[in-house]
Chain A
């Protein structure tokens, strides 16, 4: 058990999640928003692994969810960056405020 209560590890993951949220709220640049999203996904992964290791040590489902989340995060980052680069070609900017034509 390493002498650390489960709650302390959960503290780290919750804090990481809300740091990512703060970045998502304050940033207006698409790439930095994507970075905040990666932080959020990482905190979720920590949660899955912690719950699996400490509460259900005879199962493996948490590890599988972590692996699948990592895979989907990679795919999502690739698609997002393709969209961002395409947007930069047409708008010369990757600020979310300049990309508002799709609203109408």
Chain B
């Protein structure tokens, strides 16, 4: 077993273990922290695959943005030390069965398909990504780029409108 394989197995165990803890713990703040570790593990997996750009984006957007947003909203809406109510046993069993069967079926499909790596080196660079992201020729992604920028603008305005407090009546 090479060091690369050992690192992969450690990373996978880390990702899956923290993800399981994140969906099963009953303290909501701990759940957010386990989610943070799981996302960092996924970023580590991208580093292991030598796709450093996606790993950096993952850390910046997920770990630095989304988890911090989730933790802030927890502080705004919950007592952080509070223990959540237990899910009913029937629901837990049904969910576990559905999940296990779904996992088994999906993994069986993947096994039967037998994906084989081509073994060619993966040549990406930030320069290629940038040229292709704003390119209008073949393999250019400038139209989705613009659409996503419109979506971000709409989401920003929507968030402000939704979360804005209604004006008190006497001010009008």
**Chain A residues engaging chain B, CB cutoff 8 angstroms:** 1-12, 14-23, 25-29, 31-32, 34-36, 38-39, 42, 45-46, 49-61, 63-64, 66-68, 70-79, 81-86, 88-89, 94
Contacts and interface: CB of A to CB of B under 8 A. Distances in A.
Which applies to chain B's interface (DSSP): helix, strand, loop or mixed? helix
Interface string B13-25: 0011001101100
27 contacts: A4-B5, A4-B8, A7-B110, A7-B111, A7-B115, A9-B45, A14-B107, A18-B106, A19-B23, A22-B96, A25-B91, A25-B95, A35-B32, A35-B35, A45-B42, A52-B122, A57-B121, A58-B120, A71-B152, A72-B148, A73-B66, A75-B152, A76-B155, A81-B159, A82-B162, A84-B73, A88-B77
Given A42-B42, A42-B62, A78 B159 contact: yes
- 7 A-B pairs with least C-beta separation: A23-B23, A25-B95, A75-B155, A54-B117, A82-B163, A57-B122, A82-B159
Interface of B: 2, 4-5, 8, 12, 15-16, 19-20, 22-23, 28, 31-32, 35, 38-39, 42, 45-46, 48-49, 51, 53-54, 57-58, 61-62, 65-66, 69-70, 73-74, 76-78, 84-85, 87, 91-92, 94-96, 98-100, 102-103, 106-107, 110-111, 114-124, 128-129, 132-133, 139, 141, 144, 148, 151-152, 155-156, 158-159, 162-163, 165
B5 A2 contact: yes
Given A25-B91, A31-B77, A39 B152 contact: no
A61 B28 contact: no
Contacts of A58: 120, 123
B53 A63 contact: yes
Contact of A6 (B62, B117, B121): B117
A55 B5 contact: no
A33 B113 CA distance: 32
A78 B72 CA distance: 11
Contacts, number: 223
A57 B20 CA distance: 32
Contacts of A9: 8, 45, 49
B69 A61 contact: no
Kindly name the residue among B20, B22, B121 whose own CB sees the greatest number of chain A CB atoms within 10 A.
Answer: B22
A10 B45 CA distance: 12
B19 A20 contact: yes
Contacts of A10: 107, 110, 115
Nearest to B113: A7
